[in-house]
Amino acid sequence: MSDLIVRALPLYGLPEGTPLTLLNRSENETWRAGPLVLRLHRQGYHTGAEIASELDWLTALQGLPGLRAVRPVAGAKGLVTELDGRFIVAFAPIDGQELQPGDELSRHFAPLGEITARLHLHARQWTPPSGFTRKRWDVETILGPKPHWGHWRQAQGLDPQGADLMHRATDHLARRLQDYGTGPEVFGLIHADLRLANLMVDDHGLTAIDFDDCGFGWWAYDLAAALSFIETDPRLPDLIARWCEGYVRIAPLDPQDRAMIPALIFLRRVLLTAWLSTRADSDTAQSLGGPAYTQGTLELAEAFLSDGLSAFRP
């Protein structure tokens, strides 16, 4: 049990002895603490200003029609608490349960497309407060020499033949993305991690949680993130079509964005392959990582080079 979480309880008006349950250990630790959910941030990843900026956006999203998003809760020190150089934030709990790969995902992906479009419309129109700062998710920070989540060369079970394949595939991918560009018509403030585990579902629909990786990236990357860890699922073409169907009910989806969806799915897979190796202590890595995941990435790399993952084109 984290001593820091125990020490944070009175700062959120919670009495000593409040029941604590570790919900997840991924990029951060997430704890249920009585009536609140507390997130203990991984040391050295986000700065205090970046965390405050995440919560600025989340606060601005509260009450947005057609969108339900997790609500930050302030403590005695404000929305961001610092203890011994570590950051803690609190959220109101969410009803329902996480989406799971075994669920009937097809019926959820059109609503997810709508939610994503509403997030993007808000981001395009919103004026962030002074000092707003979030990470970029682009060619340099995902495929460059010092990427945020580690390099794909660290992937478990990657042999020299596989490394050569990945080198060729990611070089081609980088060229595609550089041609796509980062102009405001294709790139802006996104959630960047709308995967199944960050979507709560109840009788009223979906709620988006965990904006910890929100930042500046390609709009269509939010679809790629939604397909995290299920990239080889045979349902993927249908899920992509349903997401696009929901998105265009709310906002336009330009042909250039549609055309880049397969490349962005592969980009996300490469990013996760690196992350699973550099975050081997996480629950996610222990359940999904290893050489088998790397092998799946190599199969996608081969398909990306041969036909651009044509099966994923909406």
Does 219 lie in the same domain as 144? Answer: yes
Among 25, 60, 93, the domain boundary falls at: 93
Q: How confident is the model at residue 26 (pLDDT cuts 50, 70, 90)?
A: confident
Residues 213-236, buried b or exposed e (16+ Cβ, 10 A)?
A: bbbbbbbbbbbbbbbbbebeeeeb
Does 155 lie in the same domain as 117? Answer: yes
Which amino acid type is present at position 121? L
The CATH number assigned to the domain holding 249 equals 3.90.1200.10
Token pair listed for 49: 């200003």
* Three-state SS at 23: strand
Does 145 lie in the same domain as 122? Answer: yes
- Contact, 105 vs 239, CB < 8 A? yes
Does 267 lie in the same domain as 143? Answer: yes
Among 93, 126, 154, the domain boundary falls at: 93
Token pair listed for 54: 């995440």
Mean pLDDT in residue range 117-139? 98
Which is nearest to 282 in space by CA: 1, 54, 22?
Answer: 22
Pick the residue with more confidence: 283 or 22?
22
Token pair listed for 176: 């595609």
The pLDDT tens digits of the residues spanning 155-198 come to 999 999 999 999 999 999 999 999 999 999 999 999 999 999 99
Does 274 lie in the same domain as 173? Answer: yes
On the question of pLDDT at 135 being above 90, the answer is: yes
Does 159 lie in the same domain as 16? Answer: no
Does 208 lie in the same domain as 69? Answer: no
Partner residues linked to 90 by β-bridges: 38, 73
Does 182 lie in the same domain as 82? Answer: no
On the question of pLDDT at 283 being above 90, the answer is: no
Does 64 lie in the same domain as 50? Answer: yes
Q: How many domains does the chain have?
A: 2
Mean pLDDT in residue range 47-65? 97
Which is nearest to 88 in space by CA: 24, 27, 8, 3?
Answer: 8
CA dihedral (146, 46, 247, 183) in degrees, to 10, reads -50
Proportion of the chain above pLDDT 90, given as a percent: 91
Does 86 lie in the same domain as 144? Answer: no
On the question of pLDDT at 286 being above 90, the answer is: no
Which amino acid type is present at position 124? R
Among 34, 69, 93, the domain boundary falls at: 93
What's the confidence (pLDDT) of residue 290? 84
Which is nearest to 314 in space by CA: 113, 107, 104?
Answer: 113
Does 298 lie in the same domain as 209? Answer: yes
What's the confidence (pLDDT) of residue 236? 97
Mean pLDDT in residue range 90-117? 96
Token pair listed for 244: 């696009």
The pLDDT tens digits of the residues spanning 67-82 come to 999 999 999 999 999 9
The CATH number assigned to the domain holding 30 equals 3.30.200.20
Proportion of the chain above pLDDT 70, given as a percent: 96
Does 109 lie in the same domain as 50? Answer: no
* Domain limits for position 250: 98-312
Average pLDDT for the chain: 95
Q: What is the DSSP letter of 299?
A: H
Global pTM value: 0.95
